[in-house]
Amino acid sequence: MTWNPAQYLQYEDARLRPALELAARVPLASPATIADLGCGAGNVARRLAQRWPGAAIVGFDSDEAMLAKAREHAGERLRFERADLAQWRAASPFDLVYSNAALHWLDDHAALFPRLAASVAPGGALAVQMPYNATAPSHALLNEVAASARWRDRLARFVRPRPVASPQEYFDWLAPHARAVDAWTTEYLQHLPCRADGEHPVLAWMRGTTLLPFTAALDAAAQREFAAELALGFARAYPPRGDGSVLYPFRRLFLVAIR
Ligand SMILES: C[S@@+](CC[C@H](N)C(=O)[O-])C[C@H]1O[C@@H](n2cnc3c(N)ncnc32)[C@H](O)[C@@H]1O
């Protein structure tokens, strides 16, 4: 599966807001080093560089297309490296290990989060935001269609019913490695505009992220058929308003742990 920075950044404002709200809750005045895990196209790392002008920032990601986009803005204090976060461990600890909308792609968070905390310097912070929307109609419908008789041979293996654990579980996994853990959730009422191409806005939103493993496993004709089935369900769950826009409630989980 490969990422498409242009598709992902179609909803840049809505995707950036939680990234900035996470950064706003990090109680560090001037971290010298920052790791941005799953940095994607680097647009969040650039905001971190503005917020902490003295910091050296390294963005880590496994996707070459995302890294190529990110490197368009690389500089002396802003570098991007290829890494698989499933194995990542800092060579020397960072003052801030930050990750926006990336770690839900990884499994075994009970082992992952303590490992990430170990890459934070004493007095530093681990700050993470992940979508916490698996029970939303959009995700329930995707999982139901992928597991249906029509698709399950090709798609059932991509269904992840619970990619993100509860705030309490993260608290328990991080507390032994932290002086303080702050965990909270926010539900955004996202107003997605009508699209010129007529596609249901929730389908277009999900194409940039959640749908990627599913569509990557299908040829073009099957992708169209699968998308049409999803669009029918999305139109019922998120009916277009008079102007063709939709309201798409979206929950996210935030964590800030201080070492
Ligand atoms: C939804 S994008 C978020 C990008 C960026 N953090 C942002 O907020 O705009 C998720 C990113 O996580 C990266 N990612 C997913 N699994 C990864 C892994 N195992 N190792 C490294 N990067 C990974 C993807 O390549 C993708 O760029």
> What domains lie within the chain, and their CATH numbers?
5-258 (3.40.50.150)
**What is the overall mean pLDDT for the chain?**
96
pLDDT tens digit string along 135-146? 999 999 999 999
pLDDT at 3: 80
Distance 141 CA to ligand 1 centre (A): 23
- Position of tokens 């569509």? 215
Residues found in the chain:
259
- Position of tokens 């293996």? 157
Distance 102 CA to ligand 1 centre (A): 4
Instruction: For ligand 1, say whether the CB of 61 is within 6 Å of any of its atoms.
Output: yes
Backbone φ and ψ of 254, nearest 5°: -120, 145
pTM above 0.85, yes or no: yes
**Contact present, 256 and 126 (Cβ < 8 Å):** yes
For 211, the enclosing helix (H) or strand (E) is none
The confidence band for 4, taking pLDDT boundaries of 50, 70 and 90, is: confident
Q: What is the mean pLDDT of residues 29-53?
A: 97
Count of other CB atoms within 10 angstroms of residue 190: 18
Strands 33-37 and 94-100: parallel
- Position of tokens 């698989």? 84
Who's near 200: CB < 8 A, 6+ residues apart? 231, 234, 235, 238, 240, 246
Distance 4 CA to ligand 1 centre (A): 11
Instruction: For ligand 1, say whether the CB of 62 is within 6 Å of any of its atoms.
Output: yes
Report how far residue 226's alpha carbon sits from residue 28's, in angstroms, rounded to the nearest whole number.
46
